Structure 1
Amino acid sequence: MSDLLFYLYIFGIFLVGVASYKKIGGTKDFYIAGGNASVLRLTGSLLATILGSSAIIGSVNFSTRNGWAGSWFMICAALGLGVLYFILEKLRTFKGYNLPELLGDFYGIEVNKIASFVIPIAWTGIVASQIMGAAMIVSKMTSIAYTSGIWISGLVFIAYTCLGGQLSIIKTDFIQFLFIIFGLFFCFMYTSFNYDLGDALPLISYKFGYKELVVMLLTYSTTFFVGPDIYSRIFCAKDLKTAKKAIILSIVILLPLSYILSSLGIHAAALIGDRVVDSSLIFLIEEILPKSMAVLMYFCLLSAVISSADTTLLTASSMLTQIFIGNLKNKKSIGITRIFIIFLGVVSIYIALKMKFILSSIFLAFSIYSGAFIIPTFLGILGYRASKGYVILAIFAGGGLALIGKIYGGQSGNIYIIFAFVLNTLILGIPYIFKKKRDNLVKNQSTY
C-alpha cells in the first residue's frame, strides 16, 4: 500500500511539472513564478524551503544528542527572517532574479560571475543531501532499496524542476508545507500524550556553548537574510506588503516549531537509550507511531525534502546560466538552465551515492557560502560600495578560511569560521577607511 501511495505522490508532482510547463510564457514565469505570489502561497513556499531534511531530521537528531539546543535551528531561522524584514524595502527595489545578479549590480559583472560559479558548487552538496534524505525516507516507507531511492528521488527532482521551473515549485510548496505541519503536529501530540519528556540539557550547555551558538548564527542564521533560496522566494512576491506579511507569518510558525522538533528529539533520546540508530525521527516513526500516523509522517518528510531540493536545484542552475548568457531575461536562458538542472541533478545523485552524513555536508556548504558572501551582500543592500578587487579578495579569503575551519573542526575550527567573517569585513572596510582619510586630508588642505 505504501509503495502505491508513494508512486501516486511522485506521479502527482510530475503532473504539476507538466501543467506548469504549458503555462510558462517567459523568463519571469520560469524564474520567479510571474512575480505575483500571494501571502499564503509565499509563506508556504518560504517555510517549505526552510523545512528541508536538514531542518527537520537534522534538528531532531541534534536535540537527541544536545537537548533543547536543537531549538536553535528554527530560532536562528526566525532571527534571520527578522533581519530580512527590516532590509526588505531595500532588497525589493532590485528587479533581477537571483543573488549573483544583485551582487553584480553592487560590485560589477566579475563579482556576479564569481558568485554564479562558487555558490552552485556549494549548493550541489545541499541538493545531494536532500536526495539522501529522500532516499532514506523512501527506503523506510516502501520496499524500494536506498540506492534505488537515490536514483528515483533524484530523477523526480530533475524532471519536476526542469519542466515547470519556479511555477511548478511555488504551486506545490504550500501543499507540501501542509503535509509537513500536519505530520509534525500529530507526531508531537502523540509522543507528548504517551511519553514523558524527562530531563534534557538546556539551550546552552557544556555540549552546545556560546561559541557554537555564534558559529550557528554566522553560518546558518545569516543565510535567511542573505540567502539565494530565500531571495528566490521573495522575488516571487507580488509586492512589498505581501513579502513583509509572509515573513512575519513564517516567523510566527517557526518559533513553536523549534519547540516541537526539539521535544521530538528529547523524547527519542529517552526511548532510544543506549541503542545506536541512524535517525532519531525515523526511530520514532518506526517504533512509536501507529502505522497510519507513520505513513503521514513519511509523506511529511518526503514533502520537506522535495520542497527544498527543487528550489536549491533551480537556484544553482540559474546561476550557472548567467556565466554563459549574462542576463536571465534572455529567452535562451530557460533552455540553458534546463540543461544545467539535468547536469547538476546528475552530479548531485553521484555525490549522494558517495556521501554518508547529511547534516555535516549541509553545514560545510553553508560555511563556505556564508564566509564568502554574507558580508558583501548585506553591506551592498545597505548601500555600501567597494571596488571589485577588494570584494573578490574578501569572497575568496572569507570563504576559504571558513572552509578550513569546517574541515579542521572542533573549537579551533569554530574560531577559524568566526574569524572568516571578521577578515571579510576588514578587507571590505579598507577602501572605506582610505576614503575617509583622503576626504579628511582634502578637507584639511582646503582650510589652509
Structure 2
Amino acid sequence: MNTTLIVLLSYMLIIVLIAVFSTKKSKIKESDDYLLAGRNLGVWMLAGTLAAAEIGGGSTIGVAQKAYQDWGLSAGWYVLCAGIGIFLVSFVAPYLRKAMAATIPEILGRRYGKEVHLITTILSIVAGFIAAAVQIIATASIISTVTGMPIKEALILSAIVVTIYTVMGGLISVAYTDIIHIFFIVIGMIVALPIILDNSGGWEAVELALPKEQLDPFKIGWIQIGGLILLYFMTFSTGQEAVQRYFAAKDEKVAKKGSFLCSLFMGIYGFVPAIIGLVALAHFPNIEPAQALPTAAVNFLNPVMAGVVLASICAATLSSAAGNMIAVSAIFTNDVYKKYVKKQAESKELILVSKFVIIFTGVVSLIIALTNTSIIGLLVFAFTIRSAGPFAALIFGLLYKRVTKLGAISSIIIASIVAFTWEYLGSPFGIMSIILGASVSVIVLLVVSAIDLKMGGKEAPSAFLDEN
C-alpha cells in the first residue's frame, strides 16, 4: 500500500471518528436536530459547512476537468463566480432564516398553496439525486487514480461510504467535519499549487506545451462569466443543500455573516484547480479529463502532501454528496411523509424515515453516476431542474406582496418547460438554460400576477412576509 493511499485512508478514518463523536455529543432527539443541526450553527460553522457543500466535485475535480478540456484557465471562473453568487445570496439569507422553514417547497407551499408545493417538491428531489451523483463521480475519480481501481468499482465504493457517513449523524456531523474539510481544501490546495508548478517545470513548461488560447483567463467570455454568476445566485438561493444551511443558522445575522465569510473562502480558492488541470494537460495529454487533478497531485507532490490534498478533496466531495442526500431526505420527510402520509408522525419516526430516504438516495445517485461521468454537465443540469422554474416564485415570495397563486404556478411550469427545451436544444447562442428559464419565470410571474389582480384575483397569503 503506497504512502498517498495510507494518508488518504487515515484522513477518512479520522473524519468518520469525528462524525461519530459529534453525533454522540449533539444528542439528536428531534428531527430538526438531525436535518437542521438544531438551528444552532454559528458564523464559522455555517461558513465552513456552506463552503464545503459548494466546493465539492464541481469546484475541484470538475474545474480541473474543464480546464483540461475546452475551458482552459478560464475554468477558474466557475469557482470565483460561485463565490460572487454566494455573496449575493447573503442579502437574501436573513429572509430565508426568518421564515423558520425546513425546506424550499415548504416556503413556496405556505405562500402559494398545495400545487406549487407539490411541483417544487418533485423538482427539488430529482435535482438532489443528480447533484449527489456528481459528488460520487468526483470521489470515485480520486479513488480510481490513487488505487488503480476500475471506475465502476470506485463509484460503488464511494456511494456506499457516503451513504453510511450521511446516515450516521445527519447535518450536525456533516457540519463538524466540514470545518476540517474546508481548511484542508483551501489552505492545502493553495500550498500545493506552487509545489506542483515547481516540480513540473514551472509555468513556463505549461506555456510551452499548450496553445495560447488555453491560457486565456477570459476564454469562456464575459457572457458566460456573467451567466455563471446569475446561475449561482439562482441555484444557491433555491437549492435545498445550500438553503438548508441558512435554515440551520442561529439567527438571521449569523446567516448573513456566515454567507459573506463563505464567499471569501471561495474567492481565495478561485483559479487553483484550473491551474492544476492545465499542468496535467501539459504533461499528461492522454488521460481521462476527470483524473486531471489527482494525476497532477500524485505525480508532482510528495506522497504525504498528495495524500492530504486528495483526502481533503475526497472528503469534501463526500461532504457535498452528504449535503445533497440530507437535502433530499429533508424534503421527502417534511414535504411528502409528514404532509401527505402521516401528519402526526413523532420525531423518532421522522428520523427513521430520513435515514431510509438517505439510503434510497444513495442507490438512485449511484445508478445515475454509473451512466454519466460528466461532472460539470450533470451539475448544471441539476441546477436547471431545481432553480429555473421556482426562482422567481421564491425570491418574490420572500420579498414582494403583489404576486398571486396563478402567477406562481404559471411561472414555474412555463419557465421549467422553456429551460428543459433550451437544454435539450444544446443551449443555443451560449445562453444557459437556467438563465433563460429563470428570466422567463420572473416575467411570467409578474405579468400573470398583474393581470390576475386586475381581474379580481387575490394576492398570495404572505403571513411570514409581513413578519419580515
2:368 is matched with 351
Matched, 1:430 2:447: yes
Query: Residues 330 and 429 from structure 1, CA distance in 2 versus in 1: closer, same or farther, beyond 3 angstroms?
Result: farther
1:62 is matched with 66
Cα deviation code 1:145-192 (max 9, x no counterpart): 432322222112112212211111111111111221233122212134
1:325 is matched with 338
Equivalent residues of 1:124, 1:344 under 8 A apart = yes
Alignment counterpart, residue 108 of structure 1, candidates 97, 110, 113: 113
2:101 is matched with 96
Equivalent residues of 1:125, 1:361 under 8 A apart = yes
Q: Which amino acid aligns with 2:49?
A: S
Equivalent residues of 1:401, 1:420 under 8 A apart = yes
2:131 is matched with 126
1:117 is matched with 122
1:310 is matched with 322
CA shift at 1:285, angstroms?
Answer: 1.5
2:85 is matched with 80
Equivalent residues of 1:180, 1:303 under 8 A apart = no
Q: Which amino acid aligns with 1:378?
A: I
Cα deviation code 1:387-420 (max 9, x no counterpart): 3333223222212222222232153473755432
Q: Is the deviation greater in 171-180 or in 238-247?
A: 238-247
Separation in 2, partners of 1:49, 1:179: 14
CA shift at 1:314, angstroms?
Answer: 0.6
Alignment counterpart, residue 196 of structure 1, candidates 203, 207, 215: 203
1:228 is matched with 240
| Corresponding residue SS for 1:225 | helix
Q: Which amino acid aligns with 1:168?
A: S
Query: Residues 34 and 382 from structure 1, CA distance in 2 versus in 1: closer, same or farther, beyond 3 angstroms?
Result: same
Cα deviation code 1:264-307 (max 9, x no counterpart): 234334434x5454232123113322222221221022012111
Equivalent residues of 1:219, 1:371 under 8 A apart = no
Equivalent residues of 1:405, 1:412 under 8 A apart = no
The equivalences for 1:367-446 within 5 A come to 367-384=384-401, 386-412=403-429, 414=431, 417-434=434-451, 437=454
Separation in 1, partners of 2:224, 2:275: 21
Separation in 2, partners of 1:93, 1:247: 15
2:303 is matched with 291
CA shift at 1:201, angstroms?
Answer: 4.2
| Corresponding residue SS for 2:203 | coil
CA shift at 1:127, angstroms?
Answer: 0.8
1:445 is matched with none
CA shift at 1:374, angstroms?
Answer: 1.7
Q: Which amino acid aligns with 2:307?
A: V
1:25 is matched with 29
Separation in 1, partners of 2:38, 2:313: 28
Q: Which amino acid aligns with 1:337?
A: S
Q: Is the deviation greater in 137-146 or in 312-321?
A: 137-146
Query: Residues 78 and 143 from structure 1, CA distance in 2 versus in 1: closer, same or farther, beyond 3 angstroms?
Result: closer
Equivalent residues of 2:415, 2:437 under 8 A apart = yes
Query: Residues 329 and 211 from structure 1, CA distance in 2 versus in 1: closer, same or farther, beyond 3 angstroms?
Result: farther
CA shift at 1:346, angstroms?
Answer: 0.9
Q: Which amino acid aligns with 1:348?
A: S
Equivalent residues of 1:14, 1:159 under 8 A apart = no
Separation in 1, partners of 2:415, 2:134: 24
Separation in 1, partners of 2:351, 2:423: 35
Query: Residues 297 and 17 from structure 1, CA distance in 2 versus in 1: closer, same or farther, beyond 3 angstroms?
Result: closer
Equivalent residues of 2:80, 2:271 under 8 A apart = no
Q: Which amino acid aligns with 1:323?
A: V
Equivalent residues of 2:133, 2:369 under 8 A apart = yes
Alignment counterpart, residue 258 of structure 1, candidates 270, 283, 288: 270
Query: Residues 4 and 204 from structure 1, CA distance in 2 versus in 1: closer, same or farther, beyond 3 angstroms?
Result: closer
Alignment counterpart, residue 239 of structure 1, candidates 224, 241, 251: 251
Q: Is the deviation greater in 412-421 or in 110-119?
A: 412-421
Q: Can you give the 5+ residue segments of structure 2 that lack an aligned partner in the other structure?
A: 457-468
| Corresponding residue SS for 1:56 | helix
Matched, 1:50 2:63: no
Equivalent residues of 1:28, 1:329 under 8 A apart = no
Equivalent residues of 1:394, 1:423 under 8 A apart = yes
Identity of aligned residues (%): 27
Separation in 1, partners of 2:265, 2:17: 30
Report runs of 4+ in structure 1 exceeding 6 Å deviation: none
Alignment counterpart, residue 146 of structure 1, candidates 144, 151, 156: 151
Q: Which amino acid aligns with 1:172?
A: T
